[in-house]
């Protein structure tokens, strides 16, 4: 969270590494890559408070793959128990 007070629109550079998935919550402001390393944004004039949120797409994909894998492993385990219980010897 950070606060600004500008007389005119300004380019703000944050000293944090750029990584896709960052967004500014309050307004429709794009996060841009500055010099191939840092994050930045062009912010409007006036006194404003901004909150940045990190929601990368690769984490969502990883969570989906993990849930799917868990379901498959659980299904195979339950199937093995079922076969063992009703197996004819």
The DSSP line for 55-73 is: --HHHHHHHHHHHHHHHHH
Q: What is the pLDDT of residues 51-74, one digit of tens each?
A: 999 888 888 889 999 999 999 999
H-helix or E-strand spanning residue 41:
strand 38-43
Instruction: Kindly list the domain boundaries of the chain, sorted by start residue.
Output: 1-55, 58-89
Which of 23-27, 33-37, 55-59, 85-89 is the most confident on average?
Answer: 33-37
The per-residue pLDDT for 7 is 95
The per-residue pLDDT for 89 is 58
Q: Is a pLDDT exceeding 70 seen at residue 84?
A: yes
């Amino acid at each position: 969270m950070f606060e600004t007070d500008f007389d005119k629109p300004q380019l703000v550079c944050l000293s944090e590494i750029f990584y896709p998935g960052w967004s500014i919550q309050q307004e429709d402001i794009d996060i841009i890559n500055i010099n191939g390393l840092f994050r930045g944004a062009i912010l409007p004039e006036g006194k404003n408070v901004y909150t940045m949120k990190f929601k990368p797409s690769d984490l969502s994909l990883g969570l989906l793959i993990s849930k799917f894998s868990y379901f498959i492993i659980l299904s195979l385990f339950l199937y093995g128990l079922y076969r063992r219980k009703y197996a004819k010897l």
